[in-house]
Amino acid sequence: MNKFPVYNCPDILLYDYDNEYNKLYKSKVYELEGALELFDNDNRLNEAYKHLLRYERLSSDKKLKFDGEINNIRLVLINKVKSALDKGYELISVADPLSSIEFLGLKAAKTYLDIFLLDFLYDIKQICEGRAFIHLCPKLSILLIKAMETDKKRLEYKAYTIEVDNVKLDKTYPSIVHALIHDRKRKEIISGLKCIHFFGKTDTVAVIKFNKKDIAASFIK
């Protein structure tokens, strides 16, 4: 599998953002928190981590309750995306720094994909199609790649597949935000691996081709 440079979230105070950038970011970029961040806001992050790690061993009642909470979070975040699009935002920045695979571990990461992340990303991709772009923070991007990597170095998990590719842009932009909003060369709406706050020359973007398999067709074959 090709290796791609990862730009972790920098200290944004290091950058001297100009007024044009600030205006562009404020008017076009909607920052969407992740599911684990919402658990953390409710002081329940450790509980969520434990449930993800021990998911298969949870009692039926605990698993049902946790699944319900995850689904409620999914619906809340989806409604936030819909509202952002209605307000004219063109870029949905999905950041979930607490989803780091170093914290979760591979087992819990796969559970997170299984019960939340993959279906959620597919849902918002469908919602944003033709209306806005989606950008995943570096930690979420790496979680997705590492947890979906198979023994054959393909990126697939159950009904989903992804491909990561570096796309050369039509010109060099002054920031990742400028590139994601103004460049129309790329066809894929999901990008990642570079912090949304990166402020510097940008002439390539890592796009994430995220697709759902046709299960019915696979059975026919």
What is the structure's pLDDT at 218? 42
Residue 114 CB burial class (10 angstroms; 0-12, 13-18, ≥19): middle
Asked if residue 52 is part of any domain, the answer here is: yes
Cα separation, 169 vs 98, whole angstroms: 30
Give the confidence band of 156 by pLDDT, cuts at 50, 70, 90: confident
Asked if residue 6 is part of any domain, the answer here is: no
Asked if residue 178 is part of any domain, the answer here is: yes
Is the pLDDT confidence value at 8 over 50? yes
Number of domains in the chain: 1
Is the pLDDT confidence value at 219 over 90? no
Asked if residue 4 is part of any domain, the answer here is: no
Asked if residue 169 is part of any domain, the answer here is: yes
Alpha carbon 196 to its chain's center: 12
Tokens of 23: 């205006």
Asked if residue 2 is part of any domain, the answer here is: no
**158-174 pLDDT, tens per residue?**
889 999 999 999 899 99
For 207, the enclosing helix (H) or strand (E) is strand 202-212
Is the pLDDT confidence value at 212 over 60? yes
Asked if residue 193 is part of any domain, the answer here is: yes
What is the structure's pLDDT at 71? 96
Domain that holds residue 78: 12-220
Confidence (pTM): 0.89
Asked if residue 66 is part of any domain, the answer here is: yes
Mean predicted confidence (pLDDT) in 184-199: 88
